[in-house]
Chains A and B, each alone.
Chain A
Amino acid sequence: MTAPTTTLPVGRAVRAASKEEFRRAFKRNLTAHGFLIGAVLCFSFFSWYPMVREFLLAFQKTEGGATRWVGWDNFRHVFQDPGFWQAWRNTLLFTGLALVLGFLLPFVVAVVLNEFRHAQGYLRLLVYLPVMMPPVASVLLFKYFYDPGYGLFNRALEFLHLPAQDWLQSGDTAMLSVVIASTWMNMGSATLIYLAALQGIPGELYEAAELDGAGLLRKIWHVTVPQTKLILSLMLLMQIIATMQVFTEPFLLTGGAGPEGSTTTVVVLIYQYAFSFNQYGGAAALGLCLLVLLAGFSALYVRLSRDNES
């Protein structure tokens, strides 16, 4: 900025300049907020306001249209529900099984696929196919496969001279059956992400490991795993966050409850509280419990993915 002609009274010039600047800044802000307003309104109505409402609901009771503040009553009520603890046990079981299958399996598959010089495109396509199917179609398909009578799985076991299973019909195997179906439906995306990560590993690292006399497993442990550590930990967190919120698979495969309530997960219970028992307060209290448990994982995830970029 060059100084204005000195003959003019300085004060007025400055005032005029700042006025002009203010006008420009105001206009710039107006444009900027204009671009922002649509998303902000959507967030306000469908994200921020429901978030506040979730907290309020957990301490309120709605009866016949009247809302009343009940303090920790909803929590007390939910904690006393035997279904509450069972739902948590089921959810943890699902998460545990899903970590063994849904987290490990895609990695193993990706490591194997990455070695192939042939048919890799075809195999990638296959593993990703279920991800593109409407989940309800996959679930109903699995329902047929699990059928103890004419189901395909028991026919296969019979063929291998193994004992038939009850799959979804027994409390012991119901959750495992849900996890198997869920893994089939979802493992494609994780596999592709791992494959992309594996392709970024410099080949020299393997050469160096070989010179040091490392075998196959040692190469995986000392090169492949450390090189993909960040992606692996991100996927682990994401898997935990996602599986603790599982709903569609148990709800559709077993109607939500399963034999002896063996597949009622926490989110299924939230659904039941809200939409079967009409107890929004209980549902919200349960939701807050889930939120508290998962917030830590989410924070860690956001932190790690920020490190990942820089």
Chain B
Amino acid sequence: MSERTLISPAQLGRTRGKILYWTVLAVVVTGFTVVFLGPLYWMVANGLKSTEEFARVPPTLVPHSAHTANYTAAWEVMDLARLLFNTLYYAFGALAFQLVLDVGAAYSLSRLRPVLGKAVLGMMLATLMIPAAVLVVPQYLTVLDVPLIQRNLLNSPWVIWLPSVTNAFNIFLLKRFFDSVPQEILDAASIDGASALRTLRSVVLPMSRPVLGVVSIFAVVGVWKDFLWPMLTLPDPALQTLNVGIYSLSTGVPENHLIAALAMACAPTLLVFLVFQRNIMSGLTAGSLKG
């Protein structure tokens, strides 16, 4: 990297600068490893300890013997496979709904410009002003008895999927991206006789990969991290998400089993994150900077 920053290369080149640089770097690397990786290590290690060793004071740094049975017991007792499957099912369902409906809406508002489109967009953006926590209670009462269709959505995946579509931020992000697609390309498509759907599918979407990536990450991470809404709307233990399931089972299992369960609950996304970290991190910053 030749890009210069706060501290000049000349200063860094001097012996004193070099010593300082490497000292600070060493301190930060050690500190960060302890602060951010330490808890993960603690989780994995304590999940391996026996009940007796877990309670020992002072605690042992490395478990004396590996009780992998904790992990298998926690996996079965807390039914982690089901919780994990539920969470993925909700997350990718929400992703599909958001991709289809939000992309459709953004494309319509950006390119097809229907009558009242501006008003609809304005009303969507207005929801950004309403703090999400304020809407939880009326939203909950609404899904108990959805007006017109008179259906109770509690304990059904729709209760996660449909409200996730009401993401004005995503629509805004997508619309702005679609706005930037050159009109000539769309004109060319329409001269070739492409329908609106065909233009969206074959011209606009292939050009929008970066923004679709950002929206997808937001959609999946949103469901993955949510707690209050799924806790309220999915009371059936068999249908719960990872967050809610672990929370409701956390008091009934031995501590070392619980910690083993936590370690396993963190493992899948951490693995996904390590594999896709470059895309995830660039996607996140791109979204936040432009949004």
* Complex contact A48–B269 (CB within 8 A): no
* Complex contact A193–B25 (CB within 8 A): no
* Complex contact A145–B39 (CB within 8 A): yes
Number of A residues near B (Cβ < 8 Å) is 102
Instruction: Scan A253-294; emit 1 where CB is below 8 A from any B CB, else 0.
Output: 000000000000001001100110000100110011011001
* Complex contact A129–B135 (CB within 8 A): no
Contact residues in B for A19 (Cβ distance below 8 Å): none
* Complex contact B139–A275 (CB within 8 A): no
A224: CB under 8 A from chain B?
A: yes
Q: Which residue of B lies closest to A305 (CB)?
A: B291
| Binding stretch for chain A, among B53-61, B62-70, B181-189, B207-215 | B53-61
Contact residues in B for A305 (Cβ distance below 8 Å): 291
Contact residues in B for A115 (Cβ distance below 8 Å): 5-7, 21
Which residues of chain B (157-177) have a CB below 8 Å from chain A?
162-163, 165-166, 171, 176
A7-B47 Cα distance, complex, nearest whole Å: 92
* Complex contact B105–A140 (CB within 8 A): no
Known: A31-B196, A126-B32. A42 touches B162 (CB 8 A): yes
A34-B196 Cα distance, complex, nearest whole Å: 11
Q: Which residue of A lies closest to B261 (CB)?
A: A137
A232 to chain B, nearest CB (A): 12
A298-B42 Cα distance, complex, nearest whole Å: 39
| Binding stretch for chain B, among A68-76, A78-86, A195-203 | A195-203
A193 to chain B, nearest CB (A): 5
Contact residues in A for B127 (Cβ distance below 8 Å): 43, 47-48, 51
A148 to chain B, nearest CB (A): 12
B140: CB under 8 A from chain A?
A: yes
A162: CB under 8 A from chain B?
A: no
Given contacts A35-B112, A136-B265, 16 further A-B pairs with CB under 8 A are A28-B114, A46-B166, A116-B28, A125-B277, A129-B270, A134-B269, A135-B243, A136-B246, A140-B258, A141-B42, A141-B262, A144-B259, A184-B35, A290-B134, A298-B128, A298-B130
Query: Can you report 17 residue pairs joining A to B where beta carbons are below 8 Å apart?
Result: A34-B108, A36-B104, A51-B138, A57-B137, A113-B28, A115-B5, A115-B6, A116-B25, A123-B29, A134-B265, A136-B244, A144-B259, A192-B281, A210-B8, A245-B133, A288-B134, A291-B130
Q: Which 3 A-B pairs have the closest CB atoms?
A: A32-B114, A32-B112, A203-B4
